[in-house]
Structure 1
Amino acid sequence: MSLPGRPDWSWQELGWYAVTLLLFAGLLYFADTREFLRAIARVDRSTFGIAVAVGLSSLFVWAWVWHRFFGQLGITATAAKTVRLFFSGHFLNSITPLGQFGGEPVMAYIIADTTDTEYEGALAAVVSSDMVNAVPFFTFTIGGVVYLYLFGSLHGFLFDVGWIALLILLVGGGLAYLLWSPDGTLGRAALGLLSAIERRVSWGEGVLQSLQDRVRRTEALFERAGRDRTFLLTTIAGSHLAIVAQIISLYVVFLAMDLEPTFVPLYFIVNLSTIATLSPTPGGSGTYEAAFSWLMTLFYSVDLATALTAAVLFRLTTYWPGLLVGFLTLLTLDREGDVEPPQDAEL
């Protein structure tokens, strides 16, 4: 992945952008483009402006989580600089195909470069923050399924979703425990693998030794990040405010469209459609709007054009403003120093 100013697109990356455009084109075709444009034109702009402000606040909550881990790991960065670093990372992950699958190494390099800290500490902070920020999507989903099971009507689809969310949360929680635990299970496994490689090759001894040292440092820093359980619990609890902000933002989007917002559908649409951002398209574009539109037609008696309008407007409250701010903050980071990612770091 190249930073702005260094265009170096591969055919694979261009292919995913093409997939995104095709998905949008297909959605517009099946939704009736003219009806979609009419629905956009009917939106109350002042009400929608409130939705943008509320939706954008969710990104500041996630930036707050970054700042918490920066402090925990001794990374010196003011609150304002942390926000700029977070939005820069949001921009890089969102414009890059596969950015959601491994953008952390590049962001860790940028953080280390602009805060004069070690790379391993920056990586531990970013990965730990990402794990904490992902938790609310699953806890909210599980909580919603349990609520419907006890007090409402639980459809087979949502029942299956609840089990999947619980399974992902348990697996992710187990991985987080191993990363933050002082028992060193993952570190020993990585060191064992490197030792086995070292015994079987007659070259690269210095490189392997360096990797082993980095594994030990990274393991110690992850253990430091998760040492304080009270810190972790309060940070996870605070990160749930981001999802609350997104639910409120979608509520206001519906008001701007003159649709009657119902809490339970809003709750599930926000949480379940987020899974589509894990697709290989840039920022989950195309797949997110398709998933959102499908969920909306599942919960509401609306046509596809109305559902797509809601999807696009909601993304304009959370995704696209973050891209604009992230691009501007990345430019300011560039002015602070020469931020060039290492050759082996890819999104």
Structure 2
Amino acid sequence: MNGAQLRTTALGFLGTFAILGLLLYFVGVEDLLRELRQADPETVALLVAATLGWLAAWGYGLRTVLHVLGSDISFAKSFFVLNGAMFSNNITPFGQAGGEPVTALLISKVADTEYERGLAAIASVDSLNFVPSITLSLLGAGFYATQTSFGRRLRIATAAIVGLSVAVPVAAFFGWRHRSALRRTVARVLAPALEWVSRVLPVDVALSPEKIEHRVSEFFDSIERVATNRRGLALTLGASTLGWVFQMIALWLAFVAIGSPIPFDVLLFVVPVGAIAGVTPLPGGAGGIEAVLVTLLSSLPGIGVGWETAFAAVILFRGAIYWVPIGIGGAVVSVVGVDSV
């Protein structure tokens, strides 16, 4: 990680600490600690197990996509690579967008494949993970709306989900329809940028526009192979859905652990909406995701939890979701050695 990346990451973590500090100020340290002291250790252990279930499910999805692309790796390797991906996402700003280059290099080393294929694999997995999250969140919002009044925050959350469910596929469609022009544009912009980097830094990363265009073309070809493989799509979407369900179970267990269980249907849309905050310029969305989850959970009618209860449950939940893959993935990245990115 170079100096610019370190500064960006440091600023991201400062933003995270600032947001969490504000939450702690509004909730109160004593109230939060009182809630956390009630946490049942056995239920917290189940929460961690659910987190591992989520990582295993998404690891299987990554393995399926790599198999479609002609790279066979074991389930164990795919699990560790997925954790390496989560590690990269959690320490770089903008979530998946920030960590995907490192993840692609990790995949290319472990699966012994081209970098473009590794990038296509993780991009496909991230894109397919979007589909069940939107579906589950819309189902959850619809069901919850039949049980209680459709309040302002619920309307805002649902509008955000609907907006994403339309905007992302439309952008992907136009990007795919104009992929030839996009490929030429990337080559035209990236080639001089890489040449400049090679001049000012002691590294040779210069590539001709033709070579860049060829690599981008290989990336699009890999994406097409994944998109046209029905069995692979079905298995990956199933694994992704299972992973989201494990995340929801983990948050539900967090509330159970502190003695304040909430209806599971609420989590169908709360967890995906919280994940949207992962696109903020914060490492892994940390701080932003917590703020969104606490705000939603403490304000939705029919739940009956206060800010301190919601914050305590979210801390337990995010403590597992954020730090478990960092622990496993950090070890993976250290062993494989992708710190040159």
Q: TM-score range by the shorter chain?
A: 0.7 to 0.9
- The 1:164–1:17 alpha-carbon spacing in structure 2 relative to 1, beyond 3 Å, is closer
Q: Indicate the residue corresponding to 2:325 in structure 1.
A: 322
Counterpart code for 1:243: W
* 1:120 counterpart = 2:116: yes
Counterpart code for 2:139: G
Hey, which of these two has a bigger chunk of helix by percent? 2
TM-score (norm 1): 0.84
Q: Indicate the residue corresponding to 1:110 in structure 2.
A: 106
1:41-86 CA-to-partner distances (Å, cap 9, x unmatched) read 1111112111211122111111111101010001132211111111
Structure 1: 5+ residue runs without aligned partners?
343-347
Q: CA deviation at 1:154?
A: 2.9
Q: Indicate the residue corresponding to 1:97 in structure 2.
A: 93
- The 1:303–1:286 alpha-carbon spacing in structure 2 relative to 1, beyond 3 Å, is same
User: Does the CA-based 8 Å contact 2:95-2:284 persist in structure 1?
Assistant: yes
User: Does the CA-based 8 Å contact 2:153-2:296 persist in structure 1?
Assistant: no
Counterpart code for 2:44: F
* 1:18 counterpart = 2:9: no
State the alpha-carbon separation in 2 of the partners of residues 242 and 59 from structure 1: 7
Q: Indicate the residue corresponding to 2:59 in structure 1.
A: 63
User: Does the CA-based 8 Å contact 1:16-1:281 persist in structure 2?
Assistant: yes
Q: CA deviation at 1:226?
A: 1.2
Counterpart code for 1:15: L
- The 1:261–1:149 alpha-carbon spacing in structure 2 relative to 1, beyond 3 Å, is closer
Secondary structure of 1:296's partner? Answer: helix
Q: Indicate the residue corresponding to 1:252 in structure 2.
A: 253
Counterpart code for 1:143: L
* 1:188 counterpart = 2:180: yes
Query: Where does 1:220-259 land on structure 2 (aligned, <5 Å)?
Result: 220-259=221-260
TM-score (norm 2): 0.85
User: Does the CA-based 8 Å contact 1:65-1:133 persist in structure 2?
Assistant: no
State the alpha-carbon separation in 1 of the partners of residues 257 and 231 from structure 2: 40
Q: CA deviation at 1:157?
A: 3.5
* 1:77 counterpart = 2:73: yes
State the alpha-carbon separation in 2 of the partners of residues 206 and 260 from structure 1: 56
Q: Indicate the residue corresponding to 2:277 in structure 1.
A: 276
Specify which of 14, 31, 34 is matched with residue 30 of structure 2.
34
- Pairwise CA RMSD of aligned residues? 2.8
Q: CA deviation at 1:158?
A: 2.6
Task: Calculate percent identity across the aligned residue pairs.
Answer: 28
Counterpart code for 2:33: L
Q: Indicate the residue corresponding to 1:345 in structure 2.
A: none
* 1:88 counterpart = 2:84: yes
Q: Indicate the residue corresponding to 2:213 in structure 1.
A: 212
State the alpha-carbon separation in 2 of the partners of residues 27 and 175 from structure 1: 35
Question: Bigger CA drift: 160-169 or 304-313?
Answer: 160-169
User: Does the CA-based 8 Å contact 1:131-1:176 persist in structure 2?
Assistant: no
1:210-239 CA-to-partner distances (Å, cap 9, x unmatched) read 122222222222211211234313421331
User: Does the CA-based 8 Å contact 2:72-2:111 persist in structure 1?
Assistant: yes
Q: Indicate the residue corresponding to 2:308 in structure 1.
A: 305
* 1:47 counterpart = 2:43: yes
